[in-house]
Structure formats: structure tokens, C-alpha cells
Amino acid sequence: VGFQKILTLTYVDKLIDDVHKEFRDKYRNEFQQKGTLGLLNGTFDFKDDFLRLLRDAEESSKVRAPTVMKTFEQSLKSQKTVKCMIETRGEKPKEKVKNKKNKGSKKEGAEAVAAPGKASAGDKQPSAAGDREELTKDEILQKNREEFFKRHMKAGEKSSKSPKPEAQKEKGKKPRVWDLGNSNAKVLDYSNSATNGSAEACPVEEFDPDTALGDRNREPGRLYDLEYESDDEAEEEKVIQNPSKPSAKKGGLGGMFGMLKGLVGSKSLTREDMDPVLEKMKDHLIAKNVAAEIAVQLCESVAKKLEGKVMGTFTTVTSTVKQALQEALVQILQPQRRVDVLRDVMDAQRHRRPYVVTFCGVNGVGKSTNLAKISFWLIENGFSVLIAACDTFRAGAVEQLRTHTRRLNALHPPESHGGRTMVQLYEKGYGKDAAGIAMEAISYARNQGFDVVLVDTAGRMQDNAPLMTALAKLIAVNAPDLVLFVGEALVGNEAVDQLVKFNKALADHSMAQTPRLIDGIVLTKFDTIDDKVGAAISMTYITSKPIVFVGTGQTYCDLRSLNAKAVVAALMKA
């Protein structure tokens, strides 16, 4: 039993079962009468019974003969004739597959049956009853497979032979032609200026407004702030409402010592006092998606600000550092220069020119979607919008903006605005110069009296020098009033790399003495991060530019303005 790998005994399992049953039946009454003490104190004379069971098991194992390998005359291969071995054309792969499957079934049958006298494999040769049953099953399987192959052989030969002459005639690689597509590239060219601004190019689309608006009880044209209620504020309210409870607890001696634990008397803070707390704060910020470099710099600035500061009698180091860090975060999210888009649009109206906004960012962050949200917000505030389709690279970019234009015109039809179309799309198709399309769109908006021009650009990675040069050219040539960087709230350390390289590329490739850099940030996908809002801190810390808009969903109403205190509350939540 202990060395089965060295000495293989086929009767071990049966022997153990027999011993177990014999012992149980012999001493069952004794176990039931004496219980557990009977097992410990009793004596069991079982040697003779065990030796008898062992002899029986050994004798039963000797009866079964070992498995003998078949000879060639007993195998199926010896019964095949020369005629059946000749392979005809078209049946070669089928026969190979069939033979492989039969071999596998033979092996399974040989392993499963270990009966004496297993010598023959065919009907003509004598064999035992068990072997005859196994071979009959194999033959049934083989016949079924042969019938299946015969039924599908004709169809397989026709399908395999028919394309051969055509494949030999057609040489060379040809482009794929899709069923719903068109091989002519001229179909995708929208250079005809007559399509821009016409009602036929952007017909009104009928759809359910609830799917595009979401909240129907909102105030039209209002940009709501982000909302977040922290657990600390709720706890503070409870403490203010019940001021007697804490005083009762402080009355005891244990409460007094618990209150004094970790407190700093009237002494000045040192770096040694703050280092453990700052280390925990740094790890907490990184866990909330703040870039590691930014988290270290924030903790260093807080340490320099608090070093040498005299603390109050009942103030902990943790609460002091946390309060200073919260103030620093709020200050970062509230830059000195505030971007007021509506005020700037009205100022441009007085000068009789369109207000131009350019959107830029990496691939897939939601530039086109949030451009449509901002268009909806501007339309609800009474401003007409022209969308310039300057993403001439990504397939479907123009069609996406055309769909948004139809939806926005359905939500705000010309009849509701004195017959004036509030949003139009300016497009020139794919493969064109984006800077030239933006220039033509701005000129068209000035002639047609549009209030705002929103320029959609192609997504590009910050390491792609040619595309970054093209973006710098577009901004330098058209001089937009506002350059918005669109970034997603899901990024961590990548936010720093994106913004630094975008600003550097705009500065390096600009021809002006004072290059135009990023003016503001659109933070998208904010509804997907819960309380991991660190990307907002990283982006504003790097650029010192405000977050102008925050995208919080998929509908046109899911656009918010940044609430610094709400973001900091979510960031400091444990």
C-alpha cells in the first residue's frame, strides 16, 4: 500500500475494502455498547481474518492473466486487401482523418477492456465475448463515419474543385470590396461647398428626446456643479447636533488619556513629526489616481509650509497636515484665471466675429462626444454653433459629427428659434489639410453670422511628432480664442506625460514669439471613477489651467462645471 510505484499490486483496493467491511461487521456490537472508550481500551484479534482476506485477494489476482499484445495476423491491418489500400483522388484527406479517429478508438477500447483471451479483432477470427462486443462497437462507429463521409464527399469535391481554375487565372493582390461600401474614393469626398450649411445635407431626425437629454427636470442652459457629499461632513453635523455626548465620554480617566494620545502640546512641528503622516498621505493620493510625481511635490510643499509652525494644545499632527493638504488642493483646482465661455462669446458678438474653440487630445478620450455636449449647452443659451469637421483621418469621424448635428437640430428645430438653424456642420471629407478646413470654416461662420465655431481635431498620441506638428500648425494659423485639452479621468501618471508633451509640442512647432498653449481642460468619463479623482489634480497642477467642463455621462445634459471642494472631498475620502 505504501510503495505502489515500486510494486504494483492490482488487488490492493479490493483488499482494503474487504478488510474494512470484515472489521466493521465483526466488532459492530462492541463499538455500539462501549462507545469511544471501547476503541481506546479494547483489544481486537483480527490477525487471522486479515491473513485470510490477503490470501483470497492474492489468489483472485493470479486467476486474471496479463494483457498480451496482439500479433499482426490478429490485427485489422492484416485483413485489408490491396484494393482497399489504394487511395483515390479526393478521398485522401478524409481517409486519413478516419484512420486517425479509428486508431484513437482502438486505443480507448484496448485500455478499457482487460479481459482474458483478448486476441482477435475481426469477425472471421475467434475471440472472447467481451472482445467481440468491443469490436462490434468499433465497426459500428467506422460504418457511421464512412456513411457520413460518403454523403458529404460529393459536395466537398465540387466546392474544392470549382474555384481552382479561377484562382489560377487571377494573379496579384486585389483590395477587398465590402457589400455596403464603395470602391470609388470620390464618394467619400465632400469638397463641394454646397453641402455645407444646407438643410438637405443635415435633415432633421426624429427620435426620443429622453435618450439624448436624460434629466428632463433640469433648468435649460444651466451648467450644474459637480456634487459630492463626504462622510466627514456628515459626521461633523452629527457632532454639532449632539454636543453633550462627546463631553460625557471625556469625563472618564480613560477618555482623557485617549484624547491626549497623539496630541502635540504648544510646540513647533518638525519634519520628523510630519514624515510618517506625509508618507501615508502620499500613498493615499497615489491610490486616488494622482500622479506619483505630483503627489511627492504636494507633500513636500505641505511639509515646507508647516515646518516650524506652532501647534495648538489639542491638535493632532494628522489633522493639521490633512487640513493643510486640503487647502493646497483647493488652491490648485481654483487657478487665478477663470475661463467664462459665455462671457467671452458675448464679447466676440460685440466685435461681430465668431468665437473659436479648438479641441485636442489623445485617441479615444471623447472629443467629439463632449464637443456635441458643449454645442447643446451653447444652443440652450441662445448661441448658434458651427461644427468644423477637421478630423480627416479617423474613419467615421465626419459621420459621427453629422449624426450629432441631426440630433441637435431635432432637439432645437429652427421653428423654435425664429427660423434660424442653430447648429450646422462644415465638412470637407477625409484626407484633407485640417488647418485649411478650420480656416474655411471660420470664414464661413463669419459670413453666415454664427456665434461659435467648434473645431474637432483628430486624436493623436503625444509622442507622434508629425501629428503634433500639424496640430501646432492648425492652432498657429487659425489663432482660436480657446484651446481645450480633452483628457479622461481614468489616467494616472499618463496625464502628466500627455499634458507636458502637448504643451511642449505647441511651443516648439509654433512660429510665433509667444506660442499658443493649452488654455483649459475638458475632463471626460468622470462618472466611471467613483472617488478616484486624482487626474483632475494632476492636470491642473501641470498646466496651471482650469478645468472648464467635466463630462459625466452619455447624454447631452451630462456636462458639469468643476466644484473644487467636491473633488477634494472625494480625494480625501478614506
Question: Is residue 293 within 8 Å of residue 492, measured between CB atoms?
Answer: no
Q: What are phi and psi of 419, to 5 degrees?
A: 80, 10
What's the predicted TM-score (pTM) here?
A: 0.60
* DSSP annotation string for 333-392: HS-SS---HHHHHHHHHHTTS-EEEEEE-STTS-HHHHHHHHHHHHHHTT--EEEEEE--
C-alpha separations of 252 from 163, 246, 378 in Å? 95, 11, 62
Q: What is the DSSP letter of 87?
A: P
Q: What are phi and psi of 174, to 5 degrees?
A: -120, 145
Q: What are phi and psi of 249, to 5 degrees?
A: -70, -30
Give the tens place of pLDDT for each residue, 171-212. Answer: 566 666 665 555 555 555 555 544 565 544 455 555 566 666
Of the candidates 506, 500, 494, 499, the one whose C-alpha atom is nearest the C-alpha of residue 467 is 506
pLDDT of residue 63: 62
pLDDT of residue 449: 93
pLDDT of residue 501: 87
pLDDT of residue 253: 44
Of the candidates 101, 88, 81, 85, the one whose C-alpha atom is nearest the C-alpha of residue 142 is 101
Helix, strand or coil, per DSSP, at residue 454? strand
Phi-psi region at 421: left, alpha or beta (left = phi > 0; alpha = psi -120 to 50): beta
Determine the Cα–Cα distance for residues 246 and 32; give it in Å rounded to an integer: 64
Which positions of the chain have pLDDT values less than 70?
A: 1-9, 36-40, 63-67, 81-137, 152, 154-218, 228-267, 312-314
Determine the Cα–Cα distance for residues 288 and 228; give it in Å rounded to an integer: 15
According to CATH, the topology of domain 341-572 is Rossmann fold (3.40.50)
pLDDT of residue 379: 94
pLDDT of residue 169: 52
Start-to-end CA distance of the chain, whole Å, equals 58
pLDDT of residue 408: 93
Q: What is the 3-state secondary structure (H, E, C) of 162-212?
A: CHHHHHHHCCCCCCCCCCCCCCCHHHHCCCCHHHCCCCCCCCCCCCCHHHH
